């Protein structure tokens, strides 16, 4: 529903959103399947309240991964479609790719095996694992109780991955509370309002933001110390926003940021 509204309001992002909608349709049954699976319960029970992503391995998961690649292929663009085809057919490179992504290592090896670039290849394990990691994170219970991971860049207290975006919303105790949203498991965790999540900068003069009329509830939060940005979704301005969908649709903000020479702390699922 959100996709349809954004497609109508921002037609230049329609194609991107149509593909993303298909990905969401394929992620949904994976989430449903994961919710009752034994490997999800094991993944949710990692040490120190963290997810044990290594549980996302094995025969059944590898089979689901190849099927996911096969189902994505017809909707994919010219870059992703041939990779999807190769993954769907290739049992052992697909398994190696999944294992490398779970490990958090570089994807150069699997990319070489599959004859493609590592950057677009990342889409597949990430899109496939998102609903599984999300299901596991939900079984972990209270996110506010998860132990904070010290140091920068800020990392998800559940799975250790980077945040995709910033969220601003009013809470009973705090007006305009800031959370970071994990790019993999969708855990949201509290973060200081005036601090760069990439380097920890807190000097106000170094932290800037950029807005456009087209997206009143979105903005680019930029740190001039480290040259990094993330987008902020302000749920106080648009309570109907679905943050990862809106973040993805606001392509012009990424183009602006790249034009300024900024680097994104974490690219979104479609590599923007």
Residue with Cβ nearer Zn ion (16 or 184) = 184
80, 121, 223, 248: residue in contact with Zn ion (rule CB under 5 A): 223
| Number of residues near Zn ion (by CB under 5 A) | 15
Residue with Cβ nearer Zn ion (114 or 127) = 127
Token pair of 103 as six digits: 């490990």
Residue with Cβ nearer Zn ion (87 or 221) = 221
DSSP-derived letter for residue 70 is H
Q: What's the distance, CA 151 to chain centroid?
A: 20
Residue with Cβ nearer Zn ion (49 or 109) = 49
* Region binding Zn ion by CB under 5 A among candidate stretches 35-43, 55-63, 111-119, 223-231: 223-231
* Region binding Zn ion by CB under 5 A among candidate stretches 40-48, 72-80, 105-113, 219-227: 219-227
135 part of the interface to Zn ion, by CB under 5 A: no
220 part of the interface to Zn ion, by CB under 5 A: no
DSSP-derived letter for residue 168 is E
Q: Reduced to 3 states, what is the DSSP secondary structure of residue 190?
A: strand
Q: Residue 161 in contact with residue 153, Cβ under 8 Å?
A: no
* Region binding Zn ion by CB under 5 A among candidate stretches 9-17, 39-47, 163-171, 222-230: 222-230
Interior angle at CA 187, CA 181 and CA 191, nearest 5? 55
- In terms of C-beta distances under 8 Å and separation of at least 24 residues, what long-range contacts does 38-44 make, across chains too? 40/132, 40/135, 40/136, 40/139, 41/139, 43/132, 43/133, 43/136, 44/136, 44/137, 44/139, 44/140
Phi, psi of 103 (to 5 degrees): -70, -20
Residue with Cβ nearer Zn ion (93 or 128) = 128
201 part of the interface to Zn ion, by CB under 5 A: yes
- Spatial separation of the C-alpha atoms in residues 116 and 13, rounded to whole Å: 26
Site string for Zn ion, 165-194 (x = CB under 5 A): -----------------x-xx-x-------
195 part of the interface to Zn ion, by CB under 5 A: no
Residues near Zn ion (CB under 5 A) are 156, 158-159, 161, 182, 184-185, 187, 196, 198-199, 201, 223, 225-226
């Amino acid at each position: 529903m959100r996709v349809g509204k954004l497609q109508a309001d921002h037609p230049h992002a329609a194609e991107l959103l149509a593909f993303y909608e298909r990905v969401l349709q394929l992620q949904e049954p994976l989430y449903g399947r994961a919710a009752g699976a034994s490997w999800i319960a094991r993944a949710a029970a990692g040490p120190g309240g963290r997810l044990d992503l290594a549980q996302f391995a094995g025969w059944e998961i590898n089979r689901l991964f190849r099927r996911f690649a096969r189902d994505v292929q017809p909707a994919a663009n010219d870059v992703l479609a041939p990779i999807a085809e190769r993954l769907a057919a290739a049992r052992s490179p697909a398994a190696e790719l999944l294992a490398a992504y779970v490990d958090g290592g570089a994807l150069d090896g699997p990319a070489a095996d599959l004859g493609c670039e590592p950057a677009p290849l990342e889409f597949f394990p990430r899109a496939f694992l998102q609903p599984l990691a999300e299901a596991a994170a939900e079984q972990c219970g209270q996110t506010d109780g998860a132990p904070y991971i010290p140091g920068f860049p800020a990392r998800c207290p559940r799975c250790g991955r980077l945040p995709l975006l910033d969220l601003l919303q009013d809470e009973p105790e705090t007006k305009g509370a800031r959370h970071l949203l994990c790019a993999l498991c969708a855990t949201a965790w509290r973060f200081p309002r005036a601090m760069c999540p990439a380097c920890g900068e807190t000097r106000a003069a170094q932290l800037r933001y950029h807005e456009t009329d087209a997206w009143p509830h979105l903005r680019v939060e930029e740190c001039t110390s480290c040259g990094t940005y993330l987008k902020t979704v302000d749920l106080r301005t648009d309570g109907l926003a679905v943050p990862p969908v809106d973040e993805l649709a606001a392509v012009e903000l990424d183009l602006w940021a790249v034009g300024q020479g900024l680097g994104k702390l974490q690219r979104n699922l479609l590599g923007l």
